[in-house]
Amino acid sequence: MGKDTETQITVDEVIRKIQSSHSKTEPKKKAVLSQRAINRFNKVWKAEFISRRGRYKKEFIDTRKENEYKNCLFTIFTKHWDELDGFQISMGNVGKIIGKSAMTVDRMILFFIETGIIYRCHNYMVGKQTYFYHKNGPLFDHMFKAVCSDYYDWILSNKSNVNSKVYNTSNVNTNRNPKVQTTQGKRGRKPITYTPDRKLLARIEKEFLPIVDSLNRKQHEKLQIHFDLRFNERGNFTGRSNSFFCFTLNERNKENYDTTMMPRSMFLKKMGLTNYKQVHDIKAEVPRTTILCNTGKWKSENYDFYMNVVKESHPLEVTRDKIKELYMRFNFDVGTDKELFSHYVRGRKLKFQHDDRITFKEAGKLYNLKFDGGEEYTFDEWVVLKEIINDIQGKSWGNLIFWWTSLIQIKTIHETLKDTGIRIYNVYDGFYAPPGITKQYLVKTVKQSADYVYAKYIKNMPNPY
C-alpha cells in the first residue's frame, strides 16, 4: 500500500540529517512562527486539556493528559524523519512505546492535524488509513522549547538519549517501557510470516542497483528513483520503489484532493517537463502481477481484474471500487477469516471517523446505519468475495508483490531509454512521457519487462507462504 508503512532510523542517521541541515559553513535560517500563528496553536492546544471538577466544575489544565500527547509527538519525531516525500505513522508501534492503544494514538493524531503540528501530504490509492505526513518544524520547536532554547542543538548534544529520555526541564517522557510482547500474538496465534529466498532477492537488488543509478544520473533529486531491499521485524518484505513524483497531487483524483500536496501539473512544470503527460497506466497492476507470479502469463491490456470479480460475484451487488478496497485487505492483512473481517469492520469505522470528524463510538453507529442500507457486507458474503478473488488470481504473494511490480516499472523505464533515448517517469503504475512515446509502445514494453522479470527471477522463486 504505497510507501513503507513505517520509517525507522538510527540515532546516527538522525544526527547526520540534522547536521546536514544545519551546516556550520552555510547556516540555514530557521522558519519563524508569527505571533498570530503561535496564539492560534496555543488556543487549539490548550482547549484540548481543559477539564472541570468539583461542585462548581472549576476549570483546570489536565497536565497528565497533555504530557501523554507530548509523549506521542516526541515519539513521532524520534521514530519518523520528515523526508521530502513524507512519512507514515504506525499507530500500533507508537502506541506500544508510549503505553497507549493504537486507537488512542489515532485520536491524538487527529488532534495534531487540527493544531497544524503535523499534516497529511498524501493518501495512497483507496486505502483511507494509508496517510503520509509531514511535521511542522517551527511548531515542533515551539512545542519543545521547554527542553532547550534550541531543540536541535539539544538533540546534537544529547545524541545518546535521542530514543531514551529527555531533560528533566521537559514534561516529555520517552523512557516508558512498552508491554512485553510474547512470540504468540493475540488469541495465542503466531503472526503469519513468509520465507522468501533472500539470496535471490539480494542478487536481484545487486543487478538492478546499477540500472537505477544510471537512470538517476543527471536527474533532479525529486525525480530520482529510490530503490532498496528491506524487511520488517517479522522478516517480511516491505517497501517499493518510488520518487518524490509519486507523492504529488493528482488533480483528477477528486476524492482524495489535498491542498497541502504539490499538484502534479505544477511539479512537472517546475521540473521543466511541461510536455510530459500520463501516457499509460497499468490496469489493476497488483492483481495482474499476482496472476503473472502464479501462471507466468501477463494479461492483455483490455483485461480488467476487478470487473471480472464483479461479474463472478453475482448475485452479490458489488462495485469495482468496492472490490479494489476489499482486495487490499484480503492480500495484505494476516489472520483468520473472522479476524480479517473484524479488521475490515474496524477499518470502515475508522474511515467514517476520519471523514465525518466524529468519535469512534459514533462511527460505529454510523457504520450500523450504512450496513442497514446495504452498503456493507455480512461475514458470509465477505468470505465469498475473498474466495472469488483467490480463485481468479491464485495465491497471494503478500507485500513481496511490490518488489516484482517495482522491477517491472524500472525495467520499462530502462528499456524505453535504451530504445528511444527518452527518459520517461512513473508514479508507480502510471508512466509519464513526452509526445513521441505512445501508449501502444509502453503497453508492449511493459509486457516485455514483465515477461523478462518472470522468466529470470519469479519463475525460480516459489510462493513464499
Do 200 and 91 sit in the same domain of this protein?
no
C-alpha cell at 388: 472469488
Residue 24 pLDDT = 44
Please give the residue range of the domain that contains residue 269.
191-465
C-alpha cell at 5: 508503512
**Residue 165: pLDDT band by 50, 70, 90 thresholds?**
very low
Dihedral sign for Cα 246, 248, 252, 254, please.
positive
Using a pLDDT cut of 70, give the percent of the chain over it: 72
Do 253 and 135 sit in the same domain of this protein?
no
Do 262 and 398 sit in the same domain of this protein?
yes
Q: Is residue 335 part of a domain?
A: yes
> What mean pLDDT is reported for the chain?
77
Q: Is residue 443 part of a domain?
A: yes
Residues 264-268, mean pLDDT to the nearest whole number: 91
Residues 410-418, mean pLDDT to the nearest whole number: 97
Do 334 and 372 sit in the same domain of this protein?
yes
DSSP structure class, residue 271: T
Residue 404 pLDDT = 95
| pLDDT at residue 185 is higher than 70 | no
CB distance 244 to 85 below 8 Å:
yes
Residue 162 pLDDT = 41
Q: Which of 90-99, 250-259, 285-294, 422-431 has the lowest mean pLDDT?
A: 250-259
What tens digit of pLDDT does each residue of 192-225 get?
A: 556 778 888 889 999 999 999 999 999 999 999 9
Domains contained in the chain, number: 2
Do 98 and 206 sit in the same domain of this protein?
no
**Residue 126: pLDDT band by 50, 70, 90 thresholds?**
very low
Q: Is residue 186 part of a domain?
A: no
Distance of alpha carbon 74 from alpha carbon 70, whole angstroms: 6
Do 131 and 226 sit in the same domain of this protein?
no
Q: Is residue 168 part of a domain?
A: no
Do 284 and 345 sit in the same domain of this protein?
yes
Do 324 and 388 sit in the same domain of this protein?
yes
Do 280 and 427 sit in the same domain of this protein?
yes
**Residue 285: pLDDT band by 50, 70, 90 thresholds?**
very high
Neighbours of 286 (CB within 10 A): 25
Do 242 and 132 sit in the same domain of this protein?
no
Residue 194 pLDDT = 64
Do 416 and 334 sit in the same domain of this protein?
yes
Query: What is the domain-level CATH number for residue 89?
Result: 1.10.10.10
Residue 440 pLDDT = 96
Residue 143 pLDDT = 78
Strand order of the sheet with strand 277-281? 277-281, 430-433, 425-427
